[in-house]
Chain A
Amino acid sequence: MSKVLMKGNEAIAEAAIRCGCRAFFGYPITPQSEIPEYMSVRMPEVGGVFLQAESELAGINMVGGAAGAGVRTMTSTSGPGYALMQEAMSNFSAVGVPFVVVNMMRGGPGSGGILVNQGDYFQATRGGGNGDYRVLVLAPYNVQEACDLIQEAFDLADEFRLPAILLGDAMIGQMMETVEIKDVVRENRDISWATTGWDRKSRPRNVLFSLNATNEENEARILGIEERFHKAAERARIDTYRAEDAEVILVAYGTSARVSSAAVDTLRECGIRAGLVRPIFLSPFPVERIREAVIKPDVKAVVAVEMSRGMMVDDVRLALNGEKPVYLCNRVGSFVPMPDEIADFVKQILSKEVR
């Protein structure tokens, strides 16, 4: 396939269809409404289902029903809508229903604002639903990667039987870039667990039900989720930029990673050996990969760059466990930290840290 110029949201929708997504249920919200709009046209063309739900609450449960019936299914939303989906994320991870949710983050709390933001990090990675459950979270930093990661998200959801979230932001959803969208339709997905109607011969009766009859059953369910999540952690990866010989490492994902890579160049021009570590997985968090990139004698400081009050920085600190000093450079309220601001912040802490 050749390269085409596409808006992030539309490219993501097309990439989902090209990897066999055949059902979309969702509710409009800025900055992702191009996804349902695009799906409303494309799904009928490929014999799939598009339905505009009455709310995100209903939409995500339609997703769970359809995905639970063995069909590749997704929804897309932004923070306020994702907040309404939390009950379902808990319930469907408990019963191992794989589907993909795109969250194009906008400002919060509450209605917040419609511009770029990263304040849903906790909601996505910790989960706002009840109980001990886990979901997978992938974070693209450009449109091409968003297309690749949504296709990977469907595969990971299937493999680990957990819902997967593509955590983008208003910038990635709204900007246009050239992309090459792959065709990766999976034949013979294993749906032997799904509610497809029971022929009484080929398999046992399938029941998707998160209420447990006994403590033992509940414990086994939670440990099962945990085990699958730990297996997924082996896949958790990062990308790096000029990090090999760095004395200071910026850690950022999504749009802030893009800005941070410019900050790395600015700092290098000033003679400061800066590098970038960019987690592509946010859940499971790529602890080992980050440690490999950061726990080196040359590294004097680590700076988490975020468009939130500081959320991913907690995971960075947990990963480094006090072995390197970790700082937070952030803006809130849909302000994007500029490369120069980041560079100034780094210069300031380096003067404190070492000289």
Chain B
Amino acid sequence: MAEFRITGMHTGVPTHYCPGCSHGLIERLVMESIEELGIQERVIAVPGVGCAGLAAAYYNCDCHSPSHGRALAVATGIKRVRPDNIVFTYQGDGDLASIGMMETIHAANRGEVLTTIMANNAAYGMTGGQASPTTLLGQRTTTSQQGRTVKANGYPVHMSELLSQLDGVYYIERVTVNTVPNIRKAKKAIKHAFQNQIEGKGFNFVEVLASCPTTWGMSPVDAAKWIGTDMIREYPLGVFVDKDQGVQR
């Protein structure tokens, strides 16, 4: 059995995440992918604003952390002037699908040669658990205390499905990290999304169903279970677009 090793893409600064939070896990998959692909010296991280926004302290590479929602505009600017660098964004559902929805759709539609990881935890973690566009119907949050209703907030936004409609996208997959097999699949998807960028292919998008036990009011174990039941029902896993395989749902 291989010995556990912290990737060199991590600065060694201890993370601030709550117990059972998925951000640290997903970031590890991102860091390992970068290291395994040997692109550490070329990579530039663009962490969106949210709980994972403080990750500029963790990624052992140059980082440009923009204002809330603007990650894909900043990443576009970087990549357009430095096409040989590998540029990725890591954004929460609030950052990417609410305040940054416009930047997301246009970057995807332009087919920017970027890699975007969306950590969908169906809530605003950093600001204390308010509703997000991906909050499930009936899900209680601090701004939908009786549960999300269609009347008040409309329907959960399915970013992978939405972006699949755009001709500019190259690869879209929805994964999760609630079980060991799922973590393995998530790693494969994330690495693929970086490999594509290395080959000049874009736009690459991986949506990761993530847990936020703190604002969900659950134990880490129950949160992982809830992903496997409720979240996956609303947000089915799978490959939505893979132009290499001729897949575009």
A21: min CB distance to chain B, Å: 11
Tell me if A8 is interfacial: C-beta within 8 Å of chain B. no
How would you classify the secondary structure of chain B's contact residues: helix, strand, loop or mixed? mixed
Give the total of A residues in contact with B, Cβ under 8 Å. 38
Given contacts A51-B80, A69-B82, A211-B54, whether A205 and B61 have CB atoms under 8 Å apart is yes
Contacts of A51 in B (CB 8 A): 76, 80
A58 touches B64 (CB 8 A): no
B81's partner among A22, A208, A210 (CB-CB below 8 A) is: A22
Q: Chain A binding site: helix, strand, loop or mixed by DSSP?
A: mixed
CA distance A199 to B11 in the complex (A): 14
Q: Which of A190-198, A232-240, A312-320 contacts B (4 or more CB under 8 A)?
A: A190-198
Chain B positions within 8 Å of A199 at CB level = 41
Contacts of A58 in B (CB 8 A): 70, 73, 76, 102-103, 106
Cβ-neighbour of A66 out of B41, B43, B81 (below 8 A): B81
B78 close to A (CB within 8 Å): yes
Q: CA–CA, A207 to B60, complex, Å?
A: 10
B81 touches A207 (CB 8 A): no
B78 touches A55 (CB 8 A): no
B10 to chain A minimum Cβ distance, whole angstroms, is: 12
Q: State which of B43, B53, B73 has its C-beta within 8 Å of the C-beta of A65.
A: B73
The answer, yes or no, to whether A168 is at the interface (CB within 8 Å) is no
Q: Does B167 contact A (CB under 8 A)?
A: no
Which positions 34-84 of chain B face chain A at CB distance < 8 Å? Answer: 40-44, 46, 53-54, 56, 60-67, 70, 73-78, 80-82
B85 within 8 A of A: yes
CA distance A65 to B66 in the complex (A): 8
Which of chain A's residues 68-104 have a Cβ closer than 8 Å to chain B? 68-69, 71, 73, 87-88, 91
Is A183 part of the contact surface with B, judged by Cβ < 8 Å? no
For A90, give the chain B residue with the smallest CB separation. B67
A198: chain B residues at CB < 8 Å are: 40-41, 60-62
Most chain A CB atoms below 10 A, which of B43, B65, B106: B65
Q: Are B106 and A65 in contact, CB atoms less than 8 angstroms apart?
A: no
Is the beta-carbon distance between A211 and B67 smaller than 8 angstroms? no
Q: Is A170 an interface residue (CB 8 A)?
A: no
CA distance A49 to B60 in the complex (A): 28
Residues of A contacting B75 in the complex (Cβ-Cβ under 8 angstroms): 65
Residues of A274-297 contacting chain B, CB below 8 A: none
Q: B82 to chain A: which residues have CB within 8 Å? A: 69, 71, 196-197
B67 cross-chain contacts in A, Cβ below 8 A: 61, 87-88, 91, 210
**Contact: B78 with A68, CB < 8 Å?**
yes
Give residues 1-57 of B contacting A (CB, 8 Å).
Answer: 11, 40-44, 46, 53-54, 56
Closest A residue to B45 using CB positions: A195
Q: Are B65 and A205 in contact (CB under 8 A)?
A: no
Is A160 engaged at the interface, CB distance under 8 Å to the other chain? Answer: no
Q: Would you call A63 and B81 a contact (CB within 8 A)?
A: no
Q: Chain B nearest CB: distance from A191 CB in Å?
A: 11
The answer to whether A66 touches B70 (Cβ under 8 A) is no
Are A196 and B80 neighbours in the complex by a CB distance under 8 Å? no
The distance in angstroms between the C-alpha atoms of A65 and B11, with both chains bound, is: 23
Give the CA-CA distance A88 to B70 in the complex, in Å.
9
Instruction: Judge whether A253 is part of the interface by a CB distance below 8 angstroms.
Output: no
What residues on B are CB-neighbors of A88 within 8 Å? 67, 70
B53 touches A64 (CB 8 A): no
Q: How far is the CA of A23 from the CA of B44 in the complex (A)?
A: 19
12 contacts between A and B (CB under 8 A): A23-B77, A58-B73, A62-B80, A65-B64, A65-B76, A65-B78, A68-B64, A68-B78, A91-B66, A195-B64, A197-B82, A206-B63
Q: Which residues of B contact A (CB under 8 A)?
A: 11, 40-44, 46, 53-54, 56, 60-67, 70, 73-78, 80-82, 85, 102-103, 106
The 6 closest A-B pairs by CB, nearest first: A65-B77, A61-B73, A62-B77, A65-B74, A66-B77, A195-B62
